[in-house]
Structure 1
Amino acid sequence: MSDPDLPQPDQVDGAPHPRETARLFGQDNAEATFLKAYSAGRLHHGWLLTGAKGLGKATLAWRIARFLLATPPDAGDGLFGAPPPPTTLDISPDHPVARRMLALSEPGLFLLRRGWDDKAKRLRTQLTIEEVRKLKGFFSLSAADGGRRVVIVDAMDELNTNAANAILKLLEEPPANTTLLMVAHQPSRLLPTIRSRCRELRLAPLDAEDMARAIGQAGAELRSDDAQALAALSSGSVGAAIRLLNHDGLRLYADLVALLGTAPRLDRPRAIALGESTAGKGKEARLDLALSLTDTLMARLVRTGVTGQPPAPEAAPHEADILTRLAPNPHSARRWADLAQHAGDRARHARAVNVDPAALVLDLVLQLARAA
């Protein structure tokens, strides 16, 4: 299916690949919806797994694929001594299918994702028709065994036009005994004809408890307060939470909030130090995170002004008091919303023309201070 030594476009840095993730937290409803359809004999050929990035869509796709390929087609009907309908997607890691999938050697599974560009020595930016055409060989080679076949597409958002049309044709004329599991971060951008031919499994944001369990599975331990802050700043996305942890995002957000708390007498040395912490080789991800967290901070200011109370729980020390002071009413919320639009456009333009990162962040902080 793929060369495991190459970079994997469907893996978050610092987290195990979805095929290696043992459990999926916070998505019981999505799993139950699929199992209900399976047990009722209504296994659709196309499933669209939707929700924000990092909620576990790819992990669910691998869980479903493992379940389908390890479960006999006639299992679960309860007739003639057959076992009752399954209540979980769990498959033992010792099962031959599970071992083969972990090694990317399961003949009944095809993983469709962005390919490697040998000439440019990097992953392609789009999922191309050349990758989709490889499915023809997969279907011809695996058809003789008479068993199920599963295709995971990760992600539909990366398909170019020709590749999307090829997937649409597969959905219109699905091969026998084949299930397509398609990850989609923004399903509204897909072809309407693709969406209309699929059943949707929508994944939900994780709460603090499930976030802590998911992060723990990825190899990190969290204090309860940190889990709540991560759930708030990541909008319940495990992938986003891991990125925050990788780049000390909780402290970065706390520094932004504390800096804004010094306004209108801005602590300029502290602001300069914050900007410089995002500059230099290898700090591009931290710069992007700083810009993203500034957007988050302004969004939380807007919410405070509109609702009359700060978002709960706090994502940084003293955040509630600072947000309440700086966004006391709907009028202030509108001002912060206008700034968020202006500052965001300004920062994206500066990023595109390679403005010095330290200067970019300092400019953004100064805009916040003036608004405060």
Structure 2
Amino acid sequence: MSTPDQIEGAPHPRDTAQLFGQDAAQEAFLDAFATGRLHHAWLLTGPRGIGKATLAWAIARFLLATPPVEEDGLFGAAPTPTSLSIEPEHPVARRIAAGAEPGLKAIRRTPSPTTDRMRDQIVVDDIRSLAGFFQLSAADGGRRVVIVDAADDMNTSAANALLKMLEEPPERATLLLVSHQPSGLLPTIRSRCRTLRLGSLSAEDMARALAQAGVEAHAETPALAELSGGSVGAAIRLSLLDGLQTYGALTRIIQALPQFDRAAAMKLAEGAAARGAEAKRDLLFELIDLLLSRLARTGATGAPPAVEAAAGEAEILARLARSQNAGRAWAQTAQETGARMRHGRAVNLDPAALVLDTLIKISQTATG
């Protein structure tokens, strides 16, 4: 069973051996370490699923296993580290893998003690537990590392408690905050952290990251990279939930427009309403929104995206979004159907009817 800081179907970031496509962020951290400018708090930002948590755990291993850079001594200075990589058999790496490293604490959402259900927020008690962690571990004078994943999950009380620690950081402590939407954090928290911005993965890096996660995409990798926005986490979800096949079914439905293939639409709608299909249903809604966004962007720019996410998609998008006016119509449809889908899910409307109504609205836009 996955934890709140783990993508379903993917290895935990703690167990991910290599980080792909984020060399700039790694080099920025190594430069700060080597030049004695190691900040006490780091904010790791970027889209969900691109490796922020993997980088946080790699930094934690590195800091706990690597002595600080010192001036030349009797035998000269130690070589400046050029990589965050730590050998798997290193004692620190082995303890972290076993969840037994005393110098590391991970803050994530926790179960409620009254209901035993996972909370949807990091609460103040989760942050206050750090005080005991720092007090109990201060005696040996070693380095301490805290990973907060995700900082976006903190409620107001938890955020204020963390802010106090950032204002008066414990000695030799480093806090690593993972954030998918840093604009939602307190400005005072952001201002007390040094930011490492991570970017979306290329198709090549995506292929290597998927292979490491045990997902053999091969020829599907470019389409997965395109639909996921370069997020390996999103690509894994697409792969596990047959997202490419669902997107292909959507494009075949709009390919027939202005003729509406009601049978194909009904098949897609009924699949979304099947028992136990909640995850696939949510993905279908996201893919519908993505398809409409790609139509709107094609009309606005005058050209379809460079990479097809389904066979024949470029021709379909170009035909249905021939002008900027068409692009604006698709953007309006995306806004309207998105609001309706969100409302429908909130009030538990019949998902089959919701999907079918959305596809009919798309058909009307194509003929309008």
User: Which bracket does the TM-score occupy, shorter chain normalised?
Assistant: over 0.9
| 1:252 is aligned to 2:246 | yes
Q: In the alignment, which residue of structure 1 is the partner of 2:290?
A: 296
Matched, 1:313 2:301: no
Structure 2 match to 1:238: 232
Aligned CA-pair RMSD: 1.1
Instruction: State the 4+ residue runs in structure 1 displaced beyond 6 angstroms.
Output: none
Out of 172, 178, 181, the position equivalent to 1:186 is: 181
Matched ranges for 1:276-291 at <5 A: 276-291=270-285
State the partner residue of 2:124. Answer: 129
Q: In the alignment, residue 145 of structure 1 is paired with which amino acid?
A: D
Of 324, 329, 335, the match for 1:335: 329
Aligned-partner Cα distance in 2 for 1:274–1:316: 16
Distance 1:214 1:7, change over 3 A: closer
* Distance in 2 separating the partners of 1:91 and 1:280: 46
2:259 is matched by which residue type in structure 1? R
Preserved CA contact (<8 Å) 1:100 1:106: yes
Counterpart secondary structure, 2:310:
coil
Distance 1:245 1:7, change over 3 A: closer
CA distance in 2 between partners of 1:202 and 1:145 (Å): 33
Question: Which sections of structure 2, spanning at least 5 residues, go unmatched?
Answer: none
Using the alignment, how far apart are the partners of 1:74 and 1:200 within structure 2?
Answer: 22
Show the 5 A alignment for 1:36-47.
36-47=31-42
Q: Any idea what the Cα deviations from partners look like across 1:1-36, whole Å, max 9, x if unmatched?
A: xxxxx7510011110000000000010000001001
User: What is the correspondence of 1:144-155 to structure 2 with a 5 Å cutoff?
Assistant: 144-155=139-150
User: 1:231 and 1:360 mapped to 2: Cα distance?
Assistant: 28
In the superposition, the TM-score normalised over structure 1's length comes to 0.96
Task: Show CA shifts across 1:333-364 (max 9, x none).
Answer: 11011111111001111111111111111111
SS of residue matched to 2:42: strand
Q: Is the 8 A contact 1:78 1:85 kept in 2?
A: no
Once the 2 structures are TM-superposed, how far is the Cα of residue 121 of structure 1 from its aligned partner?
A: 2.9
Q: 2:135 aligned to 117, 120, 140, which one?
A: 140
Residue matched to 1:3? none
Change (3 A) 1:284 1:371: same
TM-score under structure 2 length normalisation: 0.97
C-alpha distance 242-7 of structure 1, shift in aligned 2 (>3 A): closer
Equivalent residue runs for 1:1-372 within 5 Å: 7-74=2-69, 80-224=75-219, 226-372=220-366
Aligned residues: 365
Q: Distance in 1 between matches of 2:72 and 2:108?
A: 37
One-letter amino acid matched to 2:66: T
Structure 1, unaligned runs of 5 or more: 1-5
- Deviation, 1:281, is 2.3
What CA distance in whole angstroms lies between the structure 2 residues aligned with 1:106 and 1:46?
20
Counterparts of 1:48 and 1:178 in 2: how far apart (Å)?
Answer: 15
- Cα distance in 2 for residues equivalent to 1:368 and 1:239: 29
d(CA) in 2 for partners of 1:9 and 1:73? 32
Encode CA deviations 1:31-62: one digit per residue, 9 max, x unaligned. Answer: 00100111010000010000011011000000
Residue deviations 1:281-308 (CA, integer Å, cap 9, x gap)? 2211111100001111011111111111
Q: 1:201-255: CA deviations, max 9, x gaps?
A: 000000111111101000011123x111111101101111111011100010011
Q: Is the 8 A contact 2:111 2:118 kept in 1?
A: yes
1:113/1:154 contact within 8 Å kept = yes
* Sequence identity percentage: 59
Amino acid at match of 1:309: A
Code of the residue aligned with 1:93 in structure 2: it is: P
